[in-house]
Amino acid sequence: MSGETVGTRGLVFNEPLIFEQGSPGRVGYSLPTSGVREVKPDRLIPKKLLRDDIPGFPEVSEVDVVRHFTRMSQWNYGIDLGFYPLGSCTMKYNPRLNEDMARLPGFARAHPYQPEAVSQGALQLLWELEQYLAEICGMDRVSLQPSAGAHGELTGIMLIRAYHISKGNPRKKILIPDSAHGTNPASSAVCGYQVVSVKSGPRGVVEPQAVAEVMDEEVAGIMVTNPNTLGIFEDHILEIAKIVHGKGGQVYCDGANLNAFVGIARPGDMGIDVIQLNVHKTFSTPHGGGGPGAGPVAMKRHLAPFMPVPTVEKKGKEFTLNYKLPKSIGKVRSFYGSFGVLVRAYTYIRTLGPTGLRRAAEVAVINANYILSRLKGTYHLPYDRFCMHECVFDDALQVPDNVKTLDIAKRLMDYGFHPPTIYFPLIVHGALMIEPTETESKETLDQFIAAMKAIAKEAKENGDLVRGAPHNPRVSRMDETKAARQPNLRWRPKASGS
C-alpha cells in the first residue's frame, strides 16, 4: 500500500445516550407565550384520562443537544464524505439547491388541506412533475402518492389486481425472477398473490421459454427489474411482455435501476404496463439514513382508472385535485404523497434537462464498465459481459485463501470507502454489487480500484488483516447474534429513584 489512502483516522468522540445526560431544570427550548388563562388540565379533561410525567425523557440544554447530534453525525459515512458504491441504490450526489427549494415557506409551511385556490404553486409543481416522469418512462399517467419504492410496487400490484377484477377475475399468481429484490415478492404477498419464481438463464437474463412454461390465465402478471439486479439489460423483454400479455397478464417493472437508461430507452416502449420509480435513487433526493423517499408509479392508460385519489388535473390555467375516480383503488397514504421529496426531484429534473439526464445515464454506465474492466481478473466476474450502471463480482478467487465477501467489504472501510452491496442478488454466491453512479470522478474510481486491488493482495499475503477488518472506525464488527438472541430495542428508565 503506497501513497496516502482515502481513509484515515481522525478526532472522533464518544457520546452516550441522551438518557444518561442532562439534569433536572436544564432547558433546551423556547415556546411561544401563552396569553390565555392557565387552567388546570383536570378542569378540562377527566383526571383518569391524564398522565403523570413522561418517564425517561431528558432535560438538557440546547448546547447539549447540538453537541449530542453533531458528535453522533461524525460516526456516519455519507455521500458528502466519499464514494458509496452500493449496487441498486444509486447513491449519487444530493444537490443542495434541492434542499433550499423544499424548505421554501410556501412549500414547507403549507397545510395539505388548505384551499386549492391558495395552493396553485404546489399543485402546478405536482402536475408538471407527473408530465416529466410520464415522458421519461414513456407512460400515460403517474401517481405521485407512494412514499417509497416498495410502496410504489405495492401500489402497482394493487393497480394490476384492480384491473383484473374489472375483467372478472383477480387471478392468483405473480411471476418473479429469482434475482428480484425482496420487496417484489413481499409486495405481491401483501396483495394476496402467490409468488411463482422464474429461474434466470445462463446469461443472467430471464429467458422467454422459462416465462412461457409458467404463464397461464391464473397469472396476474410478471414483475421484472430492468436492468436486472446483475446490472444486465433484460434483452428478451419485448418477447416476455408478448408472452404475458398473450394470456391477459400485466407486466410490472421495478424501476430501481432506471439510472442506467434515462433518456436512452423508456420502459413504456418495452411492453411494460406499470413501473415504480425511486426518486431517492435515480432523481437524487437524499437517502437520509433510510428515508424519506418517494416511489411514483407510472402506468399506461388502461390502468389509469384505478389510480389512487386524488389525482392532479389541469383545467385551463388552474390546477385541481380530483377525487372523482369511481374505480380507484383508494389511497395508499394520507394526503398527496411525500411532497417535500417530490420538490427535490422536480428541482433535479429541471436542473439537468433532457441533455443532462441522458448524459447522467451514459456516464453512469461508462463508470460502471470502467470498474468492471479494471477489476476483472482480480475478482471473479460471474457474468463476463458488459454491464449497465452496476457490475457484480463475487469472492470465488478469494475464498481459497479463506477471505470472503464480508471481509472484503469490511476492509474497504479502512481504505475510506463504503462497501458495495453484498450478498445480493441471491443467485450469485458471495455477490459484490458495485454501482458508482455518474457523480463520481475518474480519480475517485481509480482510488477505489486501487483499494480493491490492494485488498485482493492482502487476502493472499495477510488474510488476518482482512478477516479482522474494519480496524479504523470507532467500533469493530458487531455481535449481531447477541442482538438477535437477546433483543435490546430501547433504553429503560431505572425502576425507582433516578
Partner 1 sequence: MRYIPNTDADCRQMLDAIGVRSVEDLFADIPAAVRLKRPLRIPPALSEADLTRHIRGLAAKNADADRYSTFLGAGCYNHFSPAIIGHLISRGEFLTAYTPYQPEISQGTLQVMYEYQSLICQLTGMEVSNASMYEGASATAEAILMAHRVTGRNEVVVMRSVHPEYRQVARTYAQQIGLTFHEVGFTPAGTADLRAAKAALSEKSACLVVQNPNFFGAVEDLAELAGAAHAVGALLVVAVPEPVSLGLLRPPGECGADIVAGEGQALGVPMSFGGPYLGVFATQEKYMRQMPGRLVGATLDREGRTGYVLTLATREQHIRREKATSNICTSEALIALIATIYMETLGKNGLREVALQNLRKAAFAKERLARVRGCSLRFSGPTFNEFVVQVKRKPADLLKGLLRKQIIGGLDLGQFYPELKDCLLVCVTEQHSREEVEALAKAMGGGR
Partner 2 sequence: MYPADLKYTKEHEWIRVEGGKGRVGITHHAQSALGDVVFVELPKVGRRLKQMETFGVVESVKAVSDLYCPASGEVVEVNTALEGKPELVNQDCYGAGWMIVVKVADPKELNKLMDAKAYEAYLAAEGGH
**Which 102-161 positions form the footprint of partner 1 (CB under 8 A)?**
102-115, 117-122, 124-125, 131-132, 135-136, 138, 147-151, 153-154, 158, 161
Region of 98-106, 302-310, 372-380, 476-484 interacting with partner 2 (CB under 8 A): 476-484
Terminal Cα-to-Cα distance of the chain (whole angstroms): 52
CB of 394 to partner 1, least distance (A): 18
Q: How far is CA 36 from CA 28, 32, 39, 369, in A?
A: 23, 12, 9, 67
Residue 401 contacts partner 1 per CB under 8 A: no
- Put the strands of the sheet holding 391-393 in their side by side order: 391-393, 432-434, 421-422
Residue 70 contacts partner 1 per CB under 8 A: yes
Q: Which of 338, 398, 405, 447 binds partner 1 (CB under 8 A)?
A: 338
Strand partners, 376: 379
Nearer to partner 1, 97 or 460 (CB): 97
Nearer to partner 2, 109 or 485 (CB): 485
Write out the binding residues for partner 2, residues 42-71 only, by CB under 8 A: none
Residue 495 contacts partner 2 per CB under 8 A: no
Q: Choose the contact partner of 496 out of partner 1, partner 2, none; CB within 5 to 8 A by kind.
A: none
Nearer to partner 2, 258 or 428 (CB): 428
CB of 423 to partner 2, least distance (A): 8
Write out the binding residues for partner 2, residues 404-423 only, by CB under 8 A: 423
Nearer to partner 2, 4 or 480 (CB): 480
Q: Choose the contact partner of 187 out of partner 1, partner 2, none; CB within 5 to 8 A by kind.
A: partner 1
CA 468 – CA 316 distance, rounded (Å): 66
Q: Choose the contact partner of 449 out of partner 1, partner 2, none; CB within 5 to 8 A by kind.
A: none
CB of 486 to partner 2, least distance (A): 9
CB of 308 to partner 1, least distance (A): 8
Region of 143-151, 189-197, 390-398, 483-491 interacting with partner 2 (CB under 8 A): 483-491
CB of 269 to partner 1, least distance (A): 5
DSSP output for 361-418: HHHHHHHHHHHHHHHBTTBB-SS-S--SS-EEEBSTTTGGGT--HHHHHHHHHHTT--
CA 136 – CA 22 distance, rounded (Å): 52
* Residue 148: closest CA among 310, 260, 3, 279: 279
Contact of 306 with 159, CB cutoff 8 Å: yes
Q: Choose the contact partner of 493 out of partner 2, partner 1, none; CB within 5 to 8 A by kind.
A: partner 1
Alpha-carbon 367 to chain mean position: 21
Residue 488 contacts partner 1 per CB under 8 A: yes
Residue 75 contacts partner 1 per CB under 8 A: yes
Q: Would you give the DSSP letter of residue 234?
A: -
CA 75 – CA 475 distance, rounded (Å): 9
Residue 23 contacts partner 1 per CB under 8 A: no
Q: Which of 20, 53, 384, 480 binds partner 2 (CB under 8 A)?
A: 480
Contact of 407 with 460, CB cutoff 8 Å: no
Contact of 250 with 302, CB cutoff 8 Å: no
Residue 481 contacts partner 2 per CB under 8 A: yes
Region of 206-214, 286-294, 394-402, 453-461 interacting with partner 1 (CB under 8 A): 286-294
Q: Which of 179, 259, 276, 347 binds partner 1 (CB under 8 A)?
A: 347
DSSP output for 270-297: GT--EEE--TTTTT----TTT------E
Q: How far is CA 24 from CA 19, 45, 66, 490, 496, in A?
A: 12, 27, 18, 22, 16
Amino acid (one-letter) located at 295: G
Q: Which of 202, 490, 494, 495 binds partner 1 (CB under 8 A)?
A: 490
Q: Would you give the DSSP letter of residue 302?
A: G
Q: Would you give the DSSP letter of residue 204?
A: S
Q: Choose the contact partner of 462 out of partner 1, partner 2, none; CB within 5 to 8 A by kind.
A: none
Q: Which of 172, 242, 370, 378 binds partner 1 (CB under 8 A)?
A: 370
Binding site for partner 2 (CB under 8 A): 423, 480-481, 483-485
